[in-house]
């Protein structure tokens, strides 16, 4: 059994890989004011409810884009499972050259996305991750991470609009039928969701153009199913793609593959 842990700005995702599939995936809030005992209690409870044994875990792999939580989760995993986790960083990126100015600046979750896409398809690809941020990670068919584009995520955009305007409400993330809003909720949904639809299409088109048209697109992230009109752009919509990349990295570093 392998346990992958993806610490994001909003949630920390735990994935249990056994029998060649993700049998259990669960989330907890990423709280920087909580210590290792808090996350250990949450993880033990989930294992108990899922009838999983701590002793069955052979490998743990950790990705974190929240620096204060990285040592917290590393300490928790080391103590609970009796072995240090594989912590994803530039020194353990397997087989992919990071062609950006400062490799340490790229999020380990984005590297995991690139590893998963490259391992599965072996060709030019852009991974669109719909999370707290909306990210576009481009990997080449010969195993180079070419770069990243970042925009605010859907919920982040809605929250920013709600927080900084006195009269606009926070609205549900539901794709409207029309771009011409007839009420305040409809207007915000049209502006943000349909706007993001055009943003994603435009970015994919531009990235493909820069790669002479040879580039597939994949989608991942907790909000990847919200704008379902985009699904035709992607060869795959896979909310577990980041976990897949972490698993691949963990297995390679640990010598399990």
Phi/psi of residue 57, nearest 5 degrees: -80, 120
Rounded CA separation 174/106 (Å): 31
Q: Are 214 and 123 in contact (CB under 8 A)?
A: yes
Q: Are 205 and 72 in contact (CB under 8 A)?
A: no
CA nearest neighbour of 4 among 240, 218, 257: 240
Catalytic residue among 20, 33, 109, 212: 109
The 3-state DSSP class for residue 136 equals strand
Rounded CA separation 136/217 (Å): 9
Decide the pairing of beta strands 144-152 and 125-130: unpaired
Residue 109 annotated as catalytic: yes
Rounded CA separation 42/62 (Å): 16
Decide the pairing of beta strands 144-152 and 97-98: parallel
End-to-end CA distance of the chain: 13
Residues belonging to the active site = 109
């Amino acid at each position: 059994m392998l346990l992958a842990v993806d610490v994001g700005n909003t949630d920390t995702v735990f994935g249990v890989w056994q029998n060649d599939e993700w049998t259990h995936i669960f989330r907890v809030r990423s709280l920087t004011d909580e210590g290792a005992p808090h996350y250990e209690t949450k993880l033990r409870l989930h294992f108990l409810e899922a009838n999983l044994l701590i002793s069955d875990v052979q490998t743990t792999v950790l990705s974190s884009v929240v620096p204060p939580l990285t040592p917290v989760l590393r300490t928790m995993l080391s103590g609970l499972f009796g072995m240090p986790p594989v912590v994803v960083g530039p020194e353990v990126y397997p087989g992919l050259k990071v062609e950006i100015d400062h490799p340490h600046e790229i999020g380990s979750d984005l590297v995991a996305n690139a590893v998963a896409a490259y391992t599965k398809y072996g060709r030019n690809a852009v991974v669109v991750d719909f999370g707290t941020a909306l990210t576009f990670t481009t990997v080449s068919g010969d195993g180079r991470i070419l770069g990243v584009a970042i925009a605010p995520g859907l919920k982040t955009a809605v929250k920013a609009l709600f927080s900084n305007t006195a009269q606009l409400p926070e609205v549900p993330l539901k794709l409207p039928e029309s771009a011409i809003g007839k009420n305040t909720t409809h207007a915000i949904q049209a502006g943000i969701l349909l706007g993001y639809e055009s943003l994603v299409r435009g970015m994919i088109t531009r990235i493909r153009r820069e790669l002479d048209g040879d580039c597939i697109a994949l989608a991942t992230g907790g909000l990847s199913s919200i704008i379902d009109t985009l699904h035709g752009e992607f060869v795959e919509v896979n909310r577990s793609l980041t976990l897949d990349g972490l698993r691949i990295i963990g297995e390679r570093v640990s010598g399990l593959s």
